[in-house]
Amino acid sequence: MNLINKGLAALLFLLPTLGWAAPAFLVDSEWLAEHIDEENLIVLEARYHPHRHYTVGHIPGAVQVQRFRDLGDNQGSPLMRFPSREAFQATLRRWGVSDDSTLVLYDDSNTALVSRLYYLLELYGFDMAQVKILNGGTVEWSAFEEMSKEPTPQRATGSVTLKAANPALFVEWTDVYDDVLSRRDPGVVLLDARPRDMYTGQVIAHAIQGGHIPGAVNVVSLEGTSGQKWKSGEELAALYRDVPKEKTIYAYCHDGFRMSLAYLQLKYLGHKDVRLYNGGWSHWGNELTLPVVQGEAPYSGDYEL
C-alpha cells in the first residue's frame, strides 16, 4: 500500500471518531470576555421575562431586547408575525447596529429567544458572519463573570441597511395548506417544534384549538438543548434522524421562537432548505376554519384518506 492509500485508510478509520464540529456561531463566556470591549461589538439580551434585565441583571453594556415588542409585528394578527423590514431596521438602528457591527446574542431560554433574532437578521440579509450566540446564555456568563443591574447607556443610532425579506426562508399559511394538506407534496416535510403534549392536543394553550396541522411531524427543538447549552452534534442528529436532508422543511411552533431554534439546528445539521411558517400555531390554531388533527399521528380521520 502506497503512502497516499495508507493516509486515506487512516482518515477513513478516524472519521467515526471525529464527531461534529461545534456550530461556528456559538461562543462561550471566555470568548465574549476577550472581545466585549471591541468598538463595533454589541451585546443583545433577550429574557423570557424582560423585567429581569433590571431585577436580576445583565451582561455589562448589554442592550435589552423585548421579545414580543422587538421581534414581532406590533400591528399584526397574530403579533408574532415577522416584523416588516422597515420596522426591524428601525429597531436595530435604535440598538446602535450598523452594517459593520458584530452582534453577540444571548438569552435565558436555551437560545430559543435569540434564535428568533438570529433568524430575522438572516431573513433581512444582515451579514451572518458577524453574528454570534452565547452558548449557555445568562448561566454561562454569570458562572464566571459579574452581571450588572445598571441601565445600559443609550448607544448612538446605528445605520444598518437591511434587504427585502428572503422569500426562500419563510412560508405563509396558504403554502402549508396547498403543499402539505392539498397536494401532499412528497418533497416537503412539515415540522412542529412544540412540546409533544401541545402537538397531540393534550394541552391547549395560547390558542382556541389544540393539536397540530394535518401532516406535521413532531420534533421538540428544545430537546436539543440542556442546561441552557446546545447538545452535541451527534445528539442533534439523532433528534432529527427522521427528517430527510434532501427535502424542504416547513417548520412552525406557537410564537416563533422554538421553530427558529429548529431552523438553526437543522441548518447546522446540513439541511439546505428550511422555511418558517410566518404566524405559526398562533395563527393556524386560532382560525376555526383551518383543519386540526389531534393525537400522535401526522394525519388522522378524513385526512388519512
Per-residue pLDDT at 10 exceeds 60: no
Does residue 78 have a cis peptide bond before it, meaning omega lies within 30 degrees of 0?
A: yes
d(CA 64, CA 87): 17
Q: Which three cell numbers stand for residue 155?
A: 448607544
Summarize pLDDT for 66-124 with one digit per residue, the tens: 999 999 999 999 999 999 999 999 999 999 999 999 999 999 999 999 999 999 999 99
User: Residue holding cell 446574542?
Assistant: 105
How, if at all, do strands 102-107 and 188-192 pair? unpaired
Counting every residue, how long is the chain? 305
Integer CA distances (angstroms), 55 to 50, 137, 148, 150, 151, in order: 9, 17, 10, 10, 11
Phi and psi for 255 in degrees, rounded to 5? -95, -10
Residue 18 has pLDDT above 60, yes or no: no
Tell me, what's the pLDDT at 210?
A: 96
CB 59 within 8 A of CB 152: no
259 membership: H or E segment, kind and range: helix 258-269
Residue 43 has pLDDT above 60, yes or no: yes
**Average pLDDT along the chain:** 93
Least confident of 56-65, 141-150, 157-166: 141-150
- Compute the chain's Rg from CA coordinates: 21
- Cis before 195 (ω within 30): no
Q: Report the pLDDT value the prediction gives residue 305, as an integer from 0 to 100.
A: 73
